[in-house]
Amino acid sequence: MERMRSMEALRYFDAHVHMSWYADPASAMTDAASLGLGGICCTVDAENLANCPAPDADGAWALAAGLHPWWADGADLEAAVAAAESSRFVGEIGLDLGKKHAQTAEAQTRAFTAMCEAAQPGAVLSIHSVGAGHKVLDILEATGASGRCSCVFHWFSGASDELSRAVRAGCWFSLGESSLATRRGREYARQIPAGRLLTETDLPKEPGTCVDAAAHLASVQRAVAGIAAARGVDTEEVRALVLANSRELIC
């Protein structure tokens, strides 16, 4: 299975970014890596994955095979599952049962279940969960993914009992500046076990949006600062903690 080759040169880690939406993903990865930034490039479906070049920025980046819940209805599920079966990294996957997307709940559930079933032992899953924390955890448990994979909740915004259940299940959590802008996000940053904290950006906001490497890095740095403020510790302590956590996750 694919593994990131080297993380020794990294100073920051972005556990959830959509490099596949950049005009030139390969250059974006190389530019970010030159600033000491690496992480996981999430995709939204098999076509999106196919359009993104394999990372080669000295092993700083990994490419994940995903099927985002917003794209689940009408997506090529067979192709997405095949990609997940052969990748160490799977994401973005999950459920979004908020008002805007609840009408595709059946397709989302089918897709998320299939992707979890396809995930191989040791895979890293980046998970989207809106209004569906317990259902996501039910599927992770029913498919065995919670036991054989490292499950990372991206931008977790569920209820406190869902957070507690996810923590008990050994899940990880990637936090970005957007989630840390909310009171709930800051409180969760304080509550999540230190050994399960990661940073993310979820950039860019839309396909085709350009974000230069300096702005990308600055977003991660603001996430580090937000976590540090929430936990009442030094930013360098959080930076080192997240980097250590990311190495444990990947290696």
Query: 1 falls in which pLDDT band (50, 70, 90)?
Result: very low
Instruction: Map residue 31 onto helix, strand or coil.
Output: helix
DSSP string, 76-95: -HHHHHHHHHT-SEEEEEEE
Q: CATH code for 12-250?
A: 3.20.20.140
Instruction: Report whether pLDDT(168) > 50.
Output: yes
What number of other Cβ atoms are within 10 A of residue 143's Cβ? 19
Ordered by start, the domain boundaries in the chain are 12-250
Average per-residue pLDDT in the chain? 94
Nearest Cα to Cα of residue 133 among 171, 103, 185, 95: 95
- Supply the pTM of this predicted model: 0.95
User: What does the pLDDT read at residue 5?
Assistant: 54
CA–CA separation, 19 vs 92, rounded Å?
A: 12
Name the percent of the chain lying above pLDDT 90: 88
Give residue-wise pLDDT tens across range 18-62.
Answer: 999 988 899 999 999 999 999 999 999 999 999 888 887 678 999
Residue 217's identity, in one-letter code, is L
